[in-house]
């Protein structure tokens, strides 16, 4: 029997109702009692580094998670992390950069309803996660949710209440799990050993453009953050002209140790700043990074990882365009 470490962090799956609504309450042992069949096909230990609503997650929590995995890596065949759904995609992306090329699976899961409720999706998600964590083909960081196995950098929460809350953005699911059977579509190559990175730079901000927004807002972001992700329109367009003032703001911050990355607000197919003048002009003039098909969650956490390693512009660019756990495709 394989040995799996359950890392409980809170979230809806572990919640009970209180005066102010749902709040994380249960620990790992209590949740496992609701799915006793898990212990029939693997050995399980549990740890609880924290017990929070995932809305309150911070990069410090990601460092704590990666540290727990690193410290226990030699003793287990895989890891299952119970997590709230609201920021699960961010955590999955962050761990994809912090624990790279893991030959052992690191599976995140959760639920839209608490595990103790009759109509919950939690039990099947938890069972499926352990099934996948014990399978020989599993590796690296993934989300298992509603029968889908999604690469950690491709996941996005697309529904707030429905059980099929997550999707794999512009990339096939790695596997499906149906009636306890794993149908593997994409086999992740297994490395000899993982690479752990425990330093993150939290000073990454995402600014979503809205019609009429002035450059002063971007200037304030540059004052507050080491890197700014500018979420443009369509294929990555940024408004031009004196009315907006973005050109002058970006020019004023050149050479001052700031990183600018441009992405798109459109959910599918990514950016392509070369299509229109409102994209190509900016790309030709400034030494910016283009997000292409990196998700919001991936581009934000990837920059945190990169800036935790280096402040050299050339090295930042090199690492940004390095494909990690399917984050850059095409």
- Using one digit for the tens of pLDDT, what is the confidence trace for 69-97? 999 999 999 999 999 999 999 999 999 99
Token pair of 294, please?
């990196």
Half-sphere exposure of 169 (CA within 13 A, CB side): 23
Residues 6+ apart with CB under 8 A from 77: 2, 3, 4, 104, 133, 134
Mean pLDDT of 284-295: 95
* Cα(27)–Cα(65) distance, integer angstroms: 16
pLDDT at 24: 67
pLDDT at 218: 97
* Cα(76)–Cα(213) distance, integer angstroms: 51
pLDDT at 18: 63
DSSP, collapsed to helix, strand or coil, labels residue 73 as: helix
Strand partners of residue 182:
177
10: left (phi over 0), alpha (psi -120 to 50) or beta: left
Q: How many helices (H) and strands (E) does the chain have?
A: 10, 18
Token pair of 183, please?
């149908």
Mean pLDDT of 124-130: 97
DSSP, collapsed to helix, strand or coil, labels residue 80 as: strand
Residues 6+ apart with CB under 8 A from 24: 10, 11, 14, 15, 51, 52, 53, 84
Lowest mean pLDDT among 56-65, 218-227, 240-249: 240-249
> Contact 107/142 with Cβ under 8 angstroms?
yes
Mean pLDDT of 308-315: 97
Q: Is the pLDDT of residue 281 over 80?
A: yes
Q: Where are the alpha helices (DSSP H) in the chain?
A: 28-32, 38-41, 59-72, 88-98, 122-133, 215-224, 246-252, 277-285, 296-307, 313-320
> Contact 148/128 with Cβ under 8 angstroms?
no
Q: Does 12 participate in catalysis according to the annotation?
A: yes
Split at pLDDT 50, 70, 90, the class of 158 is very high
2-196: CATH topology: Rossmann fold (3.40.50)
Q: Is the pLDDT of residue 166 over 90?
A: yes
Q: CA torsion angle for 35, 40, 46, 51 (degrees, to 10)?
A: -10
Token pair of 227, please?
């890197």
The CATH number given to 204-320 is 3.40.50.40
pLDDT at 12: 82
> Contact 312/257 with Cβ under 8 angstroms?
no
- At 9-52, the pLDDT tens digits run 988 887 766 666 666 666 677 788 889 999 999 999 999 999 99
Q: Is the pLDDT of residue 189 over 70?
A: yes
What beta strand segments (E) does 94-185 contain? 99-100, 105-109, 140-145, 148-151, 155-157, 166-168, 175-178, 181-184
H or E segment to which residue 146 belongs = none
Choose, from 9, 12, 85, 120, the residue flagged as catalytic. 12
Mean pLDDT of 258-279: 94
pLDDT at 242: 86
pLDDT at 26: 65
Q: CA torsion angle for 36, 40, 44, 48 (degrees, to 10)?
A: -10
Dihedral (CA of 79, 7, 115, 38) sign:
positive
Fold match flag (2-196 vs 204-320): yes
- For tokens 């095409």, the residue is 330
- Which 8-state DSSP code applies to residue 128? H
In the chain, where the domains are located: 2-196, 204-320
- For tokens 């149906």, the residue is 178
Q: Is the pLDDT of residue 282 over 80?
A: yes
Q: Is the pLDDT of residue 247 over 90?
A: yes
């Amino acid at each position: 029997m394989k040995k799996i470490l359950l890392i409980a962090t809170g979230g809806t799956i572990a919640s009970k109702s209180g005066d102010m609504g749902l709040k994380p309450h249960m620990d790992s042992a209590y949740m496992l009692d609701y799915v006793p069949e898990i212990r029939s096909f693997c050995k399980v230990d549990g740890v609880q580094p924290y017990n929070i609503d995932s809305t309150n997650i911070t990069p410090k929590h990601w460092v704590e998670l990666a540290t727990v995995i690193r410290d226990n890596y030699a003793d287990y065949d895989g890891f299952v992390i119970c997590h709230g759904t609201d920021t699960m995609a961010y955590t999955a992306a962050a761990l994809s950069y912090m624990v790279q090329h893991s030959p052992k699976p690191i599976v995140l899961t959760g639920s839209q309803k608490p595990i103790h409720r009759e109509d919950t999706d939690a039990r099947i998600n938890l069972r499926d996660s352990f099934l996948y964590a014990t399978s020989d083909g599993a590796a690296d960081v993934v989300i298992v949710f509603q029968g889908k196995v999604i690469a950690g950098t491709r996941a996005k929460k697309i529904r707030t209440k429905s059980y099929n809350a997550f999707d794999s953005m512009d990339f096939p699911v790695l596997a499906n799990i149906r009636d306890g059977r794993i149908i593997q579509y994409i086999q992740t190559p297994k490395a000899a050993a993982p690479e752990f990175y425990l330093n993150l730079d939290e000073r990454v901000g995402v600014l979503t453009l809205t019609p009429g927004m002035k450059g002063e807002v971007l200037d304030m972001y540059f004052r507050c953050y080491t890197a700014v992700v500018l979420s443009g329109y369509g294929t990555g367009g940024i408004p031009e002209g004196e009315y907006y003032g973005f050109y002058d703001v970006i020019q004023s911050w050149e050479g001052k140790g700031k990183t600018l990355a441009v992405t798109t607000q459109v959910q599918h197919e990514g950016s392509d700043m070369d299509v229109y003048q409102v994209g190509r002009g900016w790309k030709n003039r400034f030494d910016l990074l283009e997000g292409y098909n990196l998700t919001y969650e991936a581009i934000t956490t990837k920059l945190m990882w990169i800036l935790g390693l280096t402040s050299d512009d050339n090295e930042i660019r090199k690492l940004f365009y390095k494909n990690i756990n399917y984050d850059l495709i095409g």
